[in-house]
Each structure stands twice: as structure tokens, then as C-alpha cells.
Structure 1
Amino acid sequence: MPTPVKVDLVEKVAEEINASKAVYFADYLGLNVEQVNNLRSRMFEQNVKMQVVKNTLIKIALKNAGYDVDKKDFLTGSTALVYGKDDPVVPAKVLTAFKKETKDLGKPDVKAILFEGEFLNAEKVNEIAELPSREVLLGKFLSGISYPMQQVLGVLQAPMRNLLGALNALKEKKQ
């Protein structure tokens, strides 16, 4: 019989999964308390949440969130859920940067990713971490849109400038 505490935890985890653009399933075993606290503080600075939950409860929460996890084999060993609510790329950047710093341990090791509603394997973490941030992509998009508009504006203003130049030349010639 499930306890009310576990039922509440499963509901909260399912809500977090549904509210997140990406959920990273990471193996943190081997990190000491100081390293885990350092990792959590880095995630907090980036508005990323890390939560350690039992695998059986994660499986139930994923089912409650509408995902089929019966054939998934990544829920073994110790698992930490890393939620990316605002930007799905930020958790990958934090996890890979921290893993590079603790290269002797090779942790945290991402087991799988639930990225925009689709399960991806762990090899995609490096690809995701190399993506530019949302702000950079928006800046590139806006500059790409504004450049043609600037060109059209220049073409439309050219006859006016030419006419003004001709009138000024005529004015100076008559004086």
C-alpha cells in the first residue's frame, strides 16, 4: 500500500516533468556531498532544479505524466532528475561543464533525456550542450529578419537622396 508521502511525491514529480522542457536522468553516484552541493548551487544559479527520487517512483511519475517507460532501461542505479523549465539546453551545459571539472570521476553521467516530450539517449547531451542559448538564437533570428528590411529601406530612400542631391547642386549652381 503506497504511503501518502510517496503518492504526493509522485504527483509533484509528474507535475515537474510536465512543466519542464527537458528532464535529464543523471547518475550522481560517486560524487561526495561537497560536489553535489556545488552542482546544486550551479544549477540554482541557472534556474535548474535537481531532485533525487527512487527509480520506482520516477517510473510511476513518468507513467502519470503520460510517457511509456516499460521498455526503457535507463532507470537503474542511482538517479537524479534535472529539470530544465525555461531553457532545455541549460541543464546540459551545467552537467557537461561539471563533468569536465570532475573528469577523474566522470560524474554526473547522464543516462537519458526527456527533451521536448521525446526520449533521447545519453550521447545527445554533448550535442545539446553545444547549442547556443535561447537569447543568442533569438538575436541571430532578429538580425536575419532585420537585414533584408534595412536593404529595402535603403533602396526606397535612394531616389529621395538622389533628388535632394540634385536640388542642392542646382541651388549652389544658381548662387
Structure 2
Amino acid sequence: MAEYQTRKAQHKVDAVQEMTSEFSQYDGFIFTDYRGMTVEQITTLRNQLREKEAAYRVVKNRFAKIVMSDLKHEGTNDNLVGPTAVALTSGEDASSLASKILFEFSKGSPLQIKGAYLDGKLFSKEEIEAYSKLPTRLELIASLMGTMKAPLSKLARTLQAVADAKGGNTEN
């Protein structure tokens, strides 16, 4: 008896391959429900994310599940239910900025964040919301540099004041 095999339409195979090649360029995936959003809102959101080097794609869940499985991103199937769009990010700062944009955008639109898969870890909606509130790596470095610079600036002003005072006494 012959073994049963499902036939796969070539256009579907091509779509999955194309999605796999695009998704393989990214290491962060933030899953959203875009139900109720207008085309104008989605376009605005895409433009905001593109400025931060992120992409926003509406996906077919069945294809996305195959792609995520092929890329060894396990555990994402729970986020691929219902109308789904994915924010694609590459790098820690891009993921942080994209999550901030998505949560800010969701305040004035029907957009809902479902969860995320960042750097090999699965995040719930609550966890990704907390992540979005953290400062980026660059913001932390700038803060650290400001903190380190403050005592040196104070020392320099103090030494300058001493030098000015001594310089002013010799003129009298």
C-alpha cells in the first residue's frame, strides 16, 4: 500500500522559503494582534519601526509556525493564533526600541501585543512590557558616562577656582 503524502502547492512552498530567508536575518520577534487597525495606522507603525531598523510584517500563522520551527525558535506557536503581525528586530537596542514603539502605539490604537521571542528567549506580554520600559544599552552608557564625568568636572572647577584665587592674590 502506498504511503499517503500531502501535496504542497508550489506558491505556498515559495512563500515559506521567502519568509524563512527574511526571518533568518532577525533575532527578535514581537508578536502583535493587528485586528481593527486601519491601513493608515499599520503604515504609520511600519514607518516608525523602519526608522529604528525594524520591520513589521503581517503573517499567515501556518507559514510563520513552519518558519519559526525551521529556524529553531521553539515555543512561539502560542503567539501565532488569530490575526498576527510580527515586528522583526535585530540586536538588543532595536528590540528595546521596537517594543517601546509598539507599546506607545498600542495606547491610541487597537494594536495588542501578544508576546515576543528575543535572543532565544520567549517573553509573555507582561514581560515584554516590562522590557520596553527599561532604558536601552546606549541610554545606560550615556547615563554612566554622565555619572562618571560629574566628579571630574567638579574637581576641574575646584582646581580652576583655586588657581584663579591664587592668581588673583599675587596681583594685589
TM (normalized to structure 2)? 0.73
In 2: Cα distance, 1:24 partner to 1:108 partner? 12
Q: Is the 8 A contact 2:29 2:118 kept in 1?
A: yes
Amino acid at match of 2:107: K
Report the number of matched residues: 161
For residues 60-139 of structure 1, the aligned pairs below 5 Å read 60-69=66-75, 72-86=77-91, 87-102=94-109, 107-139=110-142
Percent of aligned positions with the same letter in both sequences? 26
Q: CA deviation at 1:101?
A: 1.9
Query: What stretches of structure 2 of length at least 5 have no aligned partner?
Result: 1-6, 160-165
Deviations for 1:143-175, whole angstroms, at most 9, x for unmatched residues? 567789x69xx8xxx9xxxxxxxxx9xxx9xxx
d(CA) in 1 for partners of 2:20, 2:113: 20
Paired position in structure 2 for 1:56: 62
Quick check: which has more Rg, 1 or 2? 1
Distance 1:4 1:42, change over 3 A: same
What do the CA deviations read for 1:53-110 (whole angstroms, capped 9, x no partner)? 110100000011012248x4222111101111242111111111111122xxxx2111
Which of residues 5, 9, 12 in structure 1 aligns to 2:15? 9
Please say if 1:38 is aligned against 2:61. no
Give yes or no for contact 1:50–1:83 (8 Å, CA) kept in 2: yes
> Which amino acid is 1:80 matched to?
A
Taking structure 1 as the reference length, the TM-score comes to 0.72
Alpha-carbon distance, 1:138 to partner:
2.5
- The answer to whether the Cα contact below 8 Å between 1:84 and 1:90 also exists between their aligned partners in 2 is no
Q: 1: distance between equivalents of 2:55 and 2:47?
A: 10
- 5+ residue gaps, structure 1, are 159-167
Distance in 1 between residues matched to 2:19 and 2:41, nearest whole Å? 24
The answer to whether the 8 Å contact 1:15/1:65 transfers is no
